[in-house]
Amino acid sequence: MDDPRPAPTPSALTAPYWAACARGGLAIQRCAACARFVHLPRPACPYCGGDELPFTPVRGDGVVHTFTVVHRAFLPGFAPPYALAWIDLPEGARVFGDVTGCPPAAVRIGMPVRVHFTDRPGFGPMPHWRPL
Ligand SMILES: [Zn+2]
């Protein structure tokens, strides 16, 4: 049965991110000029305007900055309730994703989490976060 959820559509800008996921890791843009991590992917650094932003592997752990629990599905294929969160990485970037591996009601601000990947049939590995 086909998965009705929309799949990511990698662009030239985001393809390295998804390629890292396919290798089982997380990679975030890092500005070659000011060394800050940048996410979501951008063509130029929001801090200094630098336009060299190679994707750089990160450890894949972080802390929940904030989150919401979704109780209503607006698209077919999603199974609420589920938790969506902004995750602060120790490298300085903030990434977005769902928190799995615990009940949504157990997610807390400040909770340590680690990335993991599940295979999305027809697309490939997709990142999620779960409590440490
Ligand atoms: Zn920069």
Tell me how many degrees the CA angle 27-73-2 measures, rounded to the nearest 5.
70
Cα(46) to centroid(ligand 1), Å: 7
Cα(30) to centroid(ligand 1), Å: 8
- Whether the model clears a pTM of 0.85, i.e. scores above it, the answer is yes
Cα(38) to centroid(ligand 1), Å: 8
What are the structure tokens assigned to 5, written together? Answer: 């959820």
Asked if residues 65 and 39 have their Cβ atoms less than 8 Å apart, the reply is no
Cα(121) to centroid(ligand 1), Å: 36
Cα(40) to centroid(ligand 1), Å: 14
How do the pLDDT tens digits run along the chain, 132 residues long?
577 888 899 999 999 999 999 999 999 999 999 999 999 999 999 999 999 999 999 999 999 999 999 999 888 888 999 999 999 999 999 999 999 999 999 999 999 999 999 999 889 999 999 999
CA of 85: how far to CAs of 7, 47, 88, in Å? 19, 23, 10
Asked if residues 32 and 54 have their Cβ atoms less than 8 Å apart, the reply is yes
Asked if residues 17 and 53 have their Cβ atoms less than 8 Å apart, the reply is no
Cα(13) to centroid(ligand 1), Å: 17
Tell me how many degrees the CA angle 75-120-60 measures, rounded to the nearest 5.
105
Asked if residues 21 and 35 have their Cβ atoms less than 8 Å apart, the reply is no
Cα(54) to centroid(ligand 1), Å: 11
